[in-house]
Structure 1
Amino acid sequence: MSSNSSPTAAVQLCYEHLNGSCVKTPYSPASRVILYMVYGFGGVLAVFGNLLVMTAILHFKQLHSPTNFLIASLACTDFVLGVTVMPFSMVRSVENCWYFGQSFCALHTCCDVAFCYSSLFHLCFISIDRYIAVTDPLVYPTKFTVSVSCICISISWILPITYSGAVFYTGANENGLEELSSALNCVGGCQIVINQNWVLVHFLSFFIPTFVMLILYCNIFLVARQQAKKIENISSKRESSSDSYKSRVAKRERKAAKTLGITVIAFMISWLPYSIDSLIDAFMGFITLAYIYEICCWCTYYNSAMNPLIYALFYPWFRKAIKVIVSGGVFKNGSASMNLFSE
């Protein structure tokens, strides 16, 4: 997931004293500061937000469950992306040059694609987990066990890393585009071209999990509403004056709907621009401007930064755990056994 530096403004070069240096299109000082702040905030949020989530789940015994292990693995994926990919992408995006060498360019691209799709697969498995929990709660503990969670985690890590390494380290992504790749190969650039076949594979790798998530979340929403109505009906039959109870049920329903809505909307906003742009770009001769491509890339990065807020910090027990971590309470004896679900 790397961009092309625009060659239209031949004012500066990435390496002024080297022949064959890429052309640099600099931003104004004010624009650079703003971009560094925006990109840097996403990186800091991805690193420290996901680090808090991992610490909370691993430290507090009450959070040791198959579902939370899957969430912790998601946080680990986004944390690694924030540490190994986003800082270098930030420099590339703002400076319009790659100063870290061609060997690291290939590794950076491989890690970029692998960790982004690993995060996507985690989100898909989480939606499957929540679908089973809502639609079949009685047998859910026997269906989604620690072993099943470990299998989901393994698939979410191994498949994207294997796929990314196989595509970019074998050069399969450049088949049929050798001349274009050679023309873009200048000193200070990290231009990765992807042919139409692999762009289709990329798009399907995004579309299929996304389609599964949308279907499952729609079903979850419908089932949650039906269950809330049943609870409300049962309560009204037992107690004639149950307005307060109905209010609590309605509040939980609205909260569940809000959570699902935020999850789907944030994911779609983050991933759709890059996926659509990559597909169109490959079939239209790579016409996307560099800054537009960078915006699309950072939208996907920001999804990893938002995941802690959507999947963890939204819930009261996670907020309580993070307060304990930030205040240093985790260093006290017995903190791992404290009750996070008490009011």
Structure 2
Amino acid sequence: MDITDGPLLCFPGLNSSCRRQPRPHVETTLLYTLLAAISLLTVTLNLLVIISISHFQQLHTPTNALLLSLAVSDLVVGLLVMPINSVLHWERCWLLGDVMCALATYVSFCLISVSVGSMVLISIDRYMAICDPLLYSSKITLNKAKISICLCWACSLLYNGCILTGHLGQPDRFSSCHGECVLVISPITGIVDLFITFLGPCTVMVVLYMRVFVVAISQQRVIRLQTATATVTLAATTKRSERKAGRTLGIVICVFLMCFCPYYYPSLAGQDTSTSVSYSVVLSWIMLINSCANPLIYALFYPWFRKAIKLIITVKILQPHSRQEKVL
């Protein structure tokens, strides 16, 4: 394999420039192709989710509004965070300047917070739908869901602005050479962020879904004992639909935990990953792949998503009155 000879500098001619690590061209090409494919797939699938929920009026529900918020954050991850991370981790050079270093870190942290917040809101939504179905339609409305989403995004922007104040003000203060984008968070800030961004929300999600699981099992037993009248059949169908949606979103949250737990595990175990760049990169990409996994789960378990995709691909959404198309 051909490897470029001699030391490579991020900024040739600048003595204080960081050095690039020479890598085989074949290995570089294969890696960039794989990462580009993951990024493109993430953007495409989440864009389909956004178009589906936004276009078809039948999908304008509180639950789908939360899914839309999650899809928007996942779309930005695939569009910006994945490409930037792949270049930064592989080339070991930051060529976009200090301002973009600060903004890229800030955007990445905000998107993580929005994803976590959306998952918590989804858990609350499913808890209300299954555990308190009679009052669900009055307590959980589309407008309330939109307000919750706006608060989620606003709190994420404000919270991450607070914990990254030093980095945003002086992004190069921990850089040892030109061409580095380094973020250092104090231990106290790291512990607070660990609880607010991961441990607290995960505890809420697990507790709510355990409650949902118990209630869903009890409802299933009641339905089996009920007589087969028209009213009961309709009620049973509604409950089955809610349980199915709850089960699907439960899978989404389980996948979310599986992708995020490895990233936060070193912090919980007291391990330092700063000395092992490759290990840190793998953990970061496992977390980022969650943005691609969510729409894949929708495609597997949501018939309305598959039907919406067909209408989008065949350009039938451009036809008159396509917004009223029945996809459920």
**TM exceeding 0.5:** yes
Q: Report if aligned partners of 1:110, 1:165 keep a CA contact under 8 Å in 2.
A: yes
In structure 1, the residue matched to 2:183 is 192
**Mean Cα deviation higher: 305-314 or 45-54:** 305-314
1:173-252 to structure 2, matched below 5 A, reads 182=173, 184-204=175-195, 205-234=197-226
Deviation at 1:257, TM superposition (A): 8.2
1:95 matches 2:95: no
Instruction: Find the aligned partners of 2:253 and 2:66 in 1 and give their Cα distance.
Output: 18
Kindly tell me: are residues 253 and 133 of structure 1, through their superposed partners in 2, closer, same or farther at Cα, counting changes over 3 Å?
closer
Instruction: Find the aligned partners of 1:41 and 1:207 in 2 and give their Cα distance.
Output: 32
Q: Report if aligned partners of 1:134, 1:220 keep a CA contact under 8 Å in 2.
A: yes
Kindly tell me: are residues 100 and 313 of structure 1, through their superposed partners in 2, closer, same or farther at Cα, counting changes over 3 Å?
farther
Q: Of the candidates 19, 24, 36, which is equivalent to residue 23 of structure 1?
A: 19
Deviations 1:85-137 (A, max 9, x none): 22211211221211211110000000010011111100110111011001111
In structure 1, the residue matched to 2:234 is none
Q: Of the candidates 254, 257, 263, which is equivalent to residue 265 of structure 1?
A: 254
Question: Identity rate of aligned residues, in percent?
Answer: 37
Deviation at 1:296, TM superposition (A): 1.3
Task: For 2:191, give the aligned amino acid.
Answer: L
In structure 2, the residue matched to 1:133 is 129
**Mean Cα deviation higher: 104-113 or 149-158:** 149-158
Q: Of the candidates 68, 79, 84, which is equivalent to residue 83 of structure 1?
A: 79
1:281-320 to structure 2, matched below 5 A, reads 287-311=274-298, 314-320=301-307
Kindly tell me: are residues 96 and 291 of structure 1, through their superposed partners in 2, closer, same or farther at Cα, counting changes over 3 Å?
same
Q: Any idea what SS the aligned residue of 1:99 has?
A: coil
Instruction: Find the aligned partners of 1:286 and 1:61 in 2 and give their Cα distance.
Output: 47
In structure 2, the residue matched to 1:160 is 156
Q: Report if aligned partners of 1:77, 1:118 keep a CA contact under 8 Å in 2.
A: yes
Q: Any idea what SS the aligned residue of 2:23 has?
A: coil
Query: Which sections of structure 1, spanning at least 5 residues, go unmatched?
Result: 1-9, 239-247
Q: Report if aligned partners of 2:259, 2:287 keep a CA contact under 8 Å in 1.
A: yes
Kindly tell me: are residues 171 and 260 of structure 1, through their superposed partners in 2, closer, same or farther at Cα, counting changes over 3 Å?
closer
Deviation at 1:183, TM superposition (A): 5.6
CA RMSD across the alignment = 2.9
Q: Report if aligned partners of 1:134, 1:223 keep a CA contact under 8 Å in 2.
A: yes
Q: Report if aligned partners of 1:26, 1:96 keep a CA contact under 8 Å in 2.
A: no
Deviation at 1:263, TM superposition (A): 2.3
Instruction: Find the aligned partners of 2:66 and 2:40 in 1 and give their Cα distance.
Output: 22
Q: Report if aligned partners of 2:102, 2:167 keep a CA contact under 8 Å in 1.
A: no
Deviation at 1:11, TM superposition (A): 4.3
Kindly tell me: are residues 200 and 322 of structure 1, through their superposed partners in 2, closer, same or farther at Cα, counting changes over 3 Å?
same
Query: Which sections of structure 2, spanning at least 5 residues, go unmatched?
Result: 1-5, 230-236
Paired residues, number: 314
Deviations 1:173-212 (A, max 9, x none): 99xxx9xx75633111111111101111221121111111
Instruction: Find the aligned partners of 1:314 and 1:130 in 2 and give their Cα distance.
Output: 16
In structure 2, the residue matched to 1:337 is 324
Instruction: Find the aligned partners of 2:12 and 2:168 in 1 and give their Cα distance.
Output: 33
**Mean Cα deviation higher: 33-42 or 99-108:** 33-42
